[in-house]
Amino acid sequence: MWWMMNEGGGHYCSKKSDDICGDVCGQESSRLSMSRIRCILRGIDFKTYIFVFVMIPTCIFGIYLHGQKISYFLRPLWESPPKPFHDIPHYYHENVSMETLCKLHGWGIREFPRRVYDAVLFSNEVDILTLRWQELYPYITQFVLLESNSTFTGIPKPMVFASNRDQFKFVEPRLTYGTIGGRFKKGENPFVEEALQRVALDQLLKIAGITDDDLLIMSDVDEIPSRHTINLLRWCDDIPQVLHLRLKNYLYSFEFLVDNNSWRASVHRYQTGKTRYAHYRQSDEILADAGWHCSFCFRHISEFIFKMKAYSHNDRVRFSHYLNPKRIQRVICKGADLFDMLPEEYTFKEIIGKMGPIPHSYSAVHLPSFLLENADKYKFLLPGNCMRESG
């Protein structure tokens, strides 16, 4: 046909061609695809080569390294902030009577104080547990502690409290201590093991003798209610059935104040069959300035490493060098994040405002009295003492 033949009798290419790709037309089909690829590559300039073979792999590697940061930074786009708490103003002065303090909060005064139970799951926080129990000792009816031979992540652990029980003789007459065997299911969601241990703690509380309208403190070991807060709640009538405690949020020691927004600690007026030990939001009511949360406040570097591998968020250890002792020490003194993460906030303003190391604080005012009375022993928790012991 005339549209298939040129004047010389050869094939006719109906597509326009240039000098680079002119030889593609007329080739056999088996060679056509490779010719087109060569044609395309010959048409790509040097800048495009750089983009394809350098920039794209670099971007992929950057996402691999910092994908978690990107996700946290974009959190305001995919997660809304939780419902705000109803903050209850907290009134206290040592020279003001309890009747007046209860009245200032809108509560009545009782004829006698409620009994108070302090219940915790224990891992390895010997120093912070000592600080907690010394702070709360005057007002606690029964200290309840549950210990497991397994971490939440299924790693075998020694019975640290049992080994150090002699340090806690001051609470022995009021101590209910229980143990629970681990299931050692590696790869399972750590929050499953944590939830099972909290259920076991419910049973231990019953053994300890808790009854209706007793106060129950639900918080991690490092979430420490202040002494006067607990005394207020045991003496005042008509307090909320469940009351969260807003704690000052510290990291590594009382030198690094993150914010005043730790809220998971709570106090419950116990109800048989209804009250369950938990560590999530259970009420909209929260009492302001009610204590301290000192997270990762350890004496030894080895304790930091243990917790990083053992606690429920161990997935944050994305690279093995995060566990390097020298790196951990540098991070502590700098006030940076052990997991190289961005702040867990819900607005870009809050995320940007908290980016970078935590500013150093040089105030040791309104801290637990036992800490200041034993400053030499616990100086690692005080401002200006960021160096940790290597053991």
Percentage of residues of the chain with pLDDT beyond 70: 81
Q: Do 145 and 178 touch, CB atoms closer than 8 A? A: yes
Q: What are the pLDDT digits (tens) for 217-234?
A: 999 999 999 999 999 999
What's the chain's average pLDDT? Answer: 88
296-318 average pLDDT score: 86
Please state the rounded mean pLDDT for residues 185-207. 90
pLDDT band at residue 40 using 50, 70 and 90 as cut-offs: low
Q: Which long-range contacts (CB under 8 A, 24 or more apart) does 349-353 make?
A: 351/72, 351/73, 351/75, 351/76
More confident residue, 341 or 304: 304
Look at 200-209, 239-248, 309-318 and tell me which has the smallest mean pLDDT: 309-318
10 alpha-carbon distance from chain centroid: 75
151's tokens: 């971490």
Segment among 67-71, 172-176, 320-324 with least mean pLDDT:
67-71
| Helices and strands per DSSP (H, E), number in the chain | 13, 14
**Single pTM value for the model:** 0.82
Instruction: Judge whether 182 and 156 are in contact, CB under 8 Å.
Output: yes
Query: So what's the pLDDT on residue 376?
Result: 97
In the chain, domain spans: 86-298
Task: Give pLDDT tens digits for 130-174.
Answer: 999 999 999 999 999 999 999 888 889 999 999 999 999 999 999
Q: What is the DSSP string of 261-306?
A: EE---EEEE--TTT----SS---SEEESS-EEEEET--SBHHHHHH
> Does 316 have pLDDT greater than 60?
yes
Spatial contact of 168 and 120, defined as CB atoms under 8 Å apart = no
From the list 277, 278, 249, 273, the residue with the least C-alpha distance to 263 is 249
Would you place residue 191 in the very low, low, confident or very high pLDDT band (cuts 50, 70, 90)? Answer: confident
Would you say residue 44 has pLDDT above 90? no
Around 185, how many Cα atoms within 13 Å sit in the side-chain half-sphere? 9
Residue whose structure tokens are 């210990």: 147
Mean pLDDT within 294-305: 97
Q: Rounded to an integer, what distance in angstroms lies between the CA atom of residue 142 and that of residue 210?
A: 9
Token duo for residue 152? 């939440």
Residue 384: per-residue pLDDT: 96
What pLDDT is attached to residue 61? 59
Among all chains, which residue has been given the structure tokens 């105030």?
363
List the one residue out of 220, 223, 154, 163 whose CA is nearest residue 190: 154
> What's the pLDDT tens digit per position in 94-106?
999 999 999 999 9
Q: Is 366 left (phi over 0), alpha (psi -120 to 50) or beta?
A: left
Q: Which pLDDT score is estimated for 317?
A: 81
Judge: domain 86-298, CATH 3.30.70: no
364-373 residue pLDDT tens: 999 999 999 9
The pair phi, psi for residue 293, each rounded to 5°, is -120, 110
Q: Which of 235, 298, 291 is nearest to 263 (CA)?
A: 291
Between 291 and 36, whose confidence is greater?
291
Report helix, strand or coil for 370.
helix
pLDDT at 147: 97
Where is 333: in which H helix or E strand?
A: helix 325-334
